[in-house]
Structure 1
Amino acid sequence: MVHAVKPEEHIVVTSDDAALEYDRLIVATGLAPRMYAAWDGVGVGLPGVISFTNLDEATQLRALQGGGRAVVFGDTLPALQMVQAASALGLEVTYLAAGERILPNVLDDDASQIVANRMRAAGVQLVWTAAVAGIVQKDEKACGVRLADGKVYSADIVGACASYEPAADFLPGGAAALRIAEDLSTPWEHVWAAGDVVGDEPPFNWLRAWRQGERAALAACGSPVPASPGRSTVHVLNCQAMGLSLAAIGQTVVPYRSGPTELRTDVVGEFYKKLVFSADDRLIGALLVGNIAEAGALEEAVKMGVGRADLDPLLLKQLFEPTYRPQYLGVQCPVCRHEIQLEPDAKAGDRVTCPICGVDFELAEGEQGLQVKATH
């Protein structure tokens, strides 16, 4: 584990006091759980409390396989991932949602309901508008979560997944001194940053982290870097929620009478798609649930601020006419079942990487079009 970075000496100091010299350094340490000071010091760090952000915590959860109770809170992806993992392990799971929607800054009512139905189908107890007041402990170990109304939900393990901050305490001046430019450079010479430690929203965005990691690595190696900025002003979330593929691009939640308008499909089973347009009819957001093959094309359209009248008619047909033969394609990852969006010119022999599980595949021709096969 990294204990300190000394940029002026080009040295990284580990927790066992080893000093490692570097010529170029990329900080990609992600996010760390934020301490809950308001709870009189009780929170992250207490035995039985995890934030589900590292292998050790996943191992703690797996140790309860087949029995036990898990209580999870937080409007974050780690919270949803822990709920999914705990239910798959056979635990009795309670999810405490702070408001009336899941991922309220990303999902609208319809999309949230689809994910909520998935949770209930997995046996998860959902509690809405749950104001968490503290973690209950017994014998110096967490044993439950207490709400502001006094109700306690007992647990063998607690997922405190509500708040995270850049994991950068080892840098001079800590996270507060980490000022990251558009090209991902930092205040220190020959030091770049990439991924969630950058602090861009929404957090826990693996696809964005990969893109930034590639750019930072190219810069560190002195190789040509794409002209587009490393830090995009368009928020893109490509993930899974309870096993459902989800893509959220730009603004996806529209407050009542706030100006933007929406064009949406009906909810068909677990499939739902929506476009968001500004007051001057430019595309500013898109939300795809269940099938996300159009995500790449929509991301580019949002970045360019394409007007509604200028959107590709074939793209609109695929989004809103279920019987239309698709032009924008995706393939299912055989490992995690996430739908991997393909480029329009994708062909057999191309290599693709799943943005969820990170496994590399090669495209091959199948009976119903392109499919994936493992690479060696």
Structure 2
Amino acid sequence: MAETPQATVTFGVLNETSEHESRVALTPDIVTRLRKAGVACLLESGAGAASQYVDDDYIKVGATIASADEVIAQSDVLGFVDRPGEDVIAKAKPGTWIIGMLGSFTDADYVASLEKAGMVGVAIEKLPRQLSSAQSMDEMTSQNSVMGYKAALVAANAYGSFLPMMTTAAGTIRPAKVLILGAGIAGLQAIGTARRLGAVVTAYDVRPASRGEVESLGAKFLDLGLDFSAGQGEGGYARALTPEEQAAQQAAVDEKAAGFDIVITTAKVPGRKPPVLLTKAGVDGLKRGAVIVDCAASDLGGNVEGSKVGTQVTDGGVTIIGAPYLASEVSNTASNLLSRNVADILAHFVRDGRLSIDVNEELDDALIVAGRPASSQAQA
């Protein structure tokens, strides 16, 4: 049996539990994988508790449990579900690598603060997911998959009737009609889950390639009578539409949405304000008791005009649920997937027993956004 190599890199994870966050950036099974790669794991006590992993689970597989200050001080790399706050950056030693969703598309000041503090910032949102070598590292794909699944369950729970058709002695109840706007990773999972719950599902996306994916899951593709044939953007994401295209799309969706009981919106453009897919007129056109789940709701807005994080009910009796934190509500599975993403990014940079960057490596060039060393080899 091969011996586990002596650890040369220390990977630290902090407790990020908050009102909206239950995930952890490292699960016990990934500790075992990283140890085999020569990476020692250090966790703040209680970091995995909200995801159903207690400290003993980590200790049994060789991780060390410590205080937050000890984790920060002793780690060569810190991994995050989201990103560290100013207090963590201030305590971390220069040269510490930070892996997380750093907001590099929209928050240049934050990236600059990492560089000023001497950190090496590895931004997961910049991952070029079209590369086959990067698929297992793609946190956005794994977490959006969980989000889409949960969105269908949240909608079903809020809807005041059955989703499947039911035939009873008292009569037959028709199936719910569900509209999914945005047929990316989250949208496809929402389609599959709503279909398994027995709903009649229709979906729409501006990307031409999405029609086949929607129909392969047994859903109908919503025909708006519009042609956005150049709707595919870089990296597999939908591109941002022009103002004229957005207006045409909104008007058509508003008109079509009136016939549905549940609307789930999942369209995000990384680093930008989410596109408005359903306007106030569209919301007002829905029948009383209809439910909207807006997975893109955020401080920047959402896919539904007027949506905000949380639940609101319109004067017309339509429930709008702004739900950007759905992956955290499936924290055990979401953490399993996310920790694999973070660990695979870390393992990619552990070369010859040290942390290093190859300036000629496409993946390295895309991910490193702050504190990039001038030389081609950088040891932590």
Identify, as 1 or 2, the structure richer in helix.
Answer: 2
More strand by share: 1
Using the size of structure 1 for normalisation, the TM-score is: 0.30
Q: Which has the higher contact order (CA 8 A, sep 6+)?
A: 2
